């Protein structure tokens, strides 16, 4: 099974080529193939640059908008092809090269690089927008369906499974989608404006927010319903239509909890692997605000993500391996703290035993001429005190040994509270490490993993509805269950399917909104 997604690279094309040609990810350039171009960074970059500038009247490295068209042209079409863990890097690379030649031809600069540093290997295909004859490749919904269909055909030829009946959902009109894609959606500009104004100290309620928006040229045709429009727009829009984060109640909540907002300037405090997490967190916060799914977002998710980010930053974590090592260290620390605490807690019982039996044992020990009964009693007390009284290794023949031993136990017990606090901190640190690891594993989960889970759940639901039960060997067979039990299972699985569907909708919306925000912030919005 393979899953294909597309990303348009408008800026820093060399940085993108450097990433996909990283020797640490493709086994020292072992799985790299250049089609109509070199397979090393400098040569490939020069080939892409030459072809782009030959047929496009702008600099390949220019990040601004084109003077001719008034928009930013795509420098590189980046496709990612993800596979199952059963697919080897060699086979994945062969499929990627075959797929690239079949879709784009052999007359266009293309780089195919297979990354094998993850559990599921995947191909990065960098495609030049122009071929050697100047024919331009256009990326749209139809072309994406075309490349995915060709990918499925090649996977079937290689004996791999494909995703059957993929679902496609859209929550905005094509006109609005096109406006966002091209970077001139005034609705997104309004959302960006609201996001910035909420963080200002003098915005204390919705009415002060409205006044601030008026200062920036927005007019309100209906203030009670929060219908606003910028200059040059004929009809306005209800602010609540921008997403759940812009309803009246959510605006109040965001204003009252503005300290939880993650502004872009905070990202500069992080380095390396952490920057990716920070950027993803900021985008996730935007996605929560501008989400169209039917559930009220809370700050709990965002706050939890903040905690994870601060944890990995303070512990200098830059990879999953670092996180797993940190979790192992936290587990060891908690085990040591628990061992120290419970070892000291046992001294409470030792002190009780000494209070109960110590005086009698000390008296019999001082008795010189003990009869048989006294000797047996002394031996029994000695055995009891050795086990639970703490006299092991203690000189019971010295003067005042019993008070001294009790005083020592009491002094040790004074550390019990501090050890309890230390154990609590170690337990909290271990919990934070576990939470952070789970978050990072989910954050770095491949597209294939998500698609596979969704497909497996769909098959499971379908089999359940057909009266089939899962077996230990992974197969299904007819094993009828009571009606009430099966209905409960149906309800649970339907709920899971709805959750998966919403999550998939959100992920698809993420890509659209992320590209739209990047475009709008580059020159059109601010």
Task: For the beta carbon of residue 241, count every other beta carbon within 10 angstroms.
Answer: 12
Reduce the secondary structure of 239-302 to three states and give it as a string. Answer: HHHHCHHHCHHHHHHHHHCHHHCCCHHHHHHCCCHHHHHHHHHHHHHHHHHCCCCCCCCCHHHH
Instruction: Report the candidate in 295, 183, 46, 216 with the shortest Cα–Cα distance to residue 520.
Output: 183
Q: Residue 299: what pLDDT?
A: 58
Q: Residue 346: what pLDDT?
A: 78
Specify the residue for token string 């927008």.
129
> How confident is the model over 389-447, as pLDDT tens digits?
777 766 677 777 777 778 888 888 888 888 888 888 898 888 888 888 887 777 666 55
Q: Residue 112: what pLDDT?
A: 93
Q: Residue 170: what pLDDT?
A: 46
Percent share of the chain, pLDDT over 90: 6
Mean of the pLDDT values across residues 449-477? 67
Residue 104 has pLDDT above 80, yes or no: yes
Residue 511's alpha-carbon distances to 79, 273, 518, in angstroms, are 13, 20, 11
* DSSP-derived secondary structure for 369-426: S--HHHHHHHHHHHHHHHHHT--TT--TTSTTHHHHHHHHHHHHHTTHHHHHHHHHHH
Task: For the beta carbon of residue 24, count every other beta carbon within 10 angstroms.
Answer: 8
| Residue 35 phi, psi dihedral angles, 5° rounding | -105, 115
CA 170 – CA 455 distance, rounded (Å): 20
> How confident is the model over 120-165, as pLDDT tens digits?
788 999 999 998 888 888 888 788 888 888 888 888 887 776 655 5
Q: How many Cα atoms occupy the beta-carbon half-sphere of 200 within 13 Å?
A: 15
Instruction: Report the candidate in 429, 493, 422 with the shortest Cα–Cα distance to residue 456.
Output: 493
Mean of the pLDDT values across residues 178-201? 79
> How confident is the model over 344-363, as pLDDT tens digits?
777 777 788 888 787 777 77
Beta bridge partners of 127: 77, 110
* Predicted TM-score (pTM) of this structure: 0.40
Higher pLDDT, 225 or 63: 225
CA 19 – CA 4 distance, rounded (Å): 18
Q: Residue 261: what pLDDT?
A: 67
68 pLDDT tier (thresholds 50, 70, 90): low
Instruction: Report the candidate in 180, 182, 358 with the shortest Cα–Cα distance to residue 286.
Output: 180
Ordered domains of the chain (ranges, CATH): 2-157 (3.30.930.30), 177-317 (no CATH), 323-419 (no CATH), 445-522 (no CATH)
Q: Residue 169: what pLDDT?
A: 44
Mean of the pLDDT values across residues 367-395? 78
Question: Range with the lowest mean pLDDT among 146-150, 189-193, 328-332, 402-406?
Answer: 402-406
Residue 337 has pLDDT above 50, yes or no: yes
Q: Residue 15: what pLDDT?
A: 86
Q: Residue 63: what pLDDT?
A: 62
Residue 111 has pLDDT above 90, yes or no: yes
Averaged confidence pLDDT in the chain: 78
Q: Is residue 90 within 8 Å of residue 27, measured between CB atoms? A: no
Q: Residue 79: what pLDDT?
A: 92
Q: Residue 24: what pLDDT?
A: 86
């Amino acid at each position: 099974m393979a899953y294909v997604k597309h990303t348009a690279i408008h800026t820093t094309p060399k940085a993108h080529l450097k990433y996909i040609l990283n020797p640490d990810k493709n086994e020292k350039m072992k799985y790299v193939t250049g089609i109509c171009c070199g397979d090393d960074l400098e040569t490939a970059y020069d080939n892409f640059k030459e072809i782009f500038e030959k047929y496009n009247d702008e600099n390949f490295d220019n990040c601004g908008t084109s003077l001719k068209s008034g928009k930013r042209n795509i420098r590189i079409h980046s496709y990612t092809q993800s596979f199952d863990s059963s697919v080897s890097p060699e086979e994945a690379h062969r499929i990627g090269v075959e797929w690239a030649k079949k879709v784009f031809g052999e007359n266009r600069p293309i780089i195919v690089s297979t990354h094998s540093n993850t559990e599921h290997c995947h191909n990065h295909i960098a495609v030049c927008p122009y071929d050697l004859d100047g024919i331009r490749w256009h990326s749209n919904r139809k072309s994406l369906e075309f490349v995915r269909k060709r990918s499925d055909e090649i996977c079937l030829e290689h004996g791999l499974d494909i995703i059957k009946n993929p679902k496609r959902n859209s929550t905005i009109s094509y006109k609005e989608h096109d406006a966002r894609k091209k970077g001139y959606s005034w609705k997104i500009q309004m959302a960006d404006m609201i996001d910035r104004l909420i963080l200002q100290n003098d915005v204390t309620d919705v009415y002060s927010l409205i006044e601030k928006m008026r200062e920036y040229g927005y007019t309100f045709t209906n203030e009670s319903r929060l219908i606003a429009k910028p200059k040059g727009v004929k009809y306005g829009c209800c602010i609540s239509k921008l997403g759940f984060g812009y309803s009246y109640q959510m605006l109040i909540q965001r204003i009252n909890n503005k300290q939880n907002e993650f502004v872009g300037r905070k990202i500069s405090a992080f380095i390396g692997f952490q920057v990716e997490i920070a950027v993803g967190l900021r985008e996730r916060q935007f996605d929560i605000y501008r989400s169209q799914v039917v559930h009220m977002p809370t700050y709990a998710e965002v706050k939890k993500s903040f905690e994870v980010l601060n944890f990995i930053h303070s512990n200098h974590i830059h990879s999953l391996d670092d996180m797993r090592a940190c979790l192992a260290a936290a587990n060891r620390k908690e085990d040591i703290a628990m061992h120290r605490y419970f070892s000291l807690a046992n001294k409470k019982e030792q002190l009780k035993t000494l209070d109960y039996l110590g005086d009698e044992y000390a008296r019999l020990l001082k008795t010189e001429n003990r009869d048989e009964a006294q000797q047996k009693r002394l031996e029994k007390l000695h055995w009891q005190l050795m086990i639970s009284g703490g006299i092991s290794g203690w000189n019971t023949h010295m003067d005042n040994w019993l008070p001294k031993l009790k005083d020592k136990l009491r002094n040790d017990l004074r550390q019990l509270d501090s050890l309890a606090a230390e154990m609590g901190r170690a337990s909290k640190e271990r919990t934070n490490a576990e939470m952070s690891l789970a978050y990072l594993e989910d954050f770095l989960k491949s597209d294939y993993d998500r698609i596979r889970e969704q497909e497996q759940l769909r098959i499971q639901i379908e089999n359940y509805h057909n009266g089939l039960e899962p077996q230990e060997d992974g197969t299904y067979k007819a094993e009828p269950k009571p009606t009430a039990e099966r209905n409960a299972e149906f309800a649970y699985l339907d709920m899971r399917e709805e959750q998966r569907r919403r999550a998939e909708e959100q992920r698809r919306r993420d890509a659209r909104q992320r590209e739209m925000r990047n475009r709008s912030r580059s020159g059109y919005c601010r």
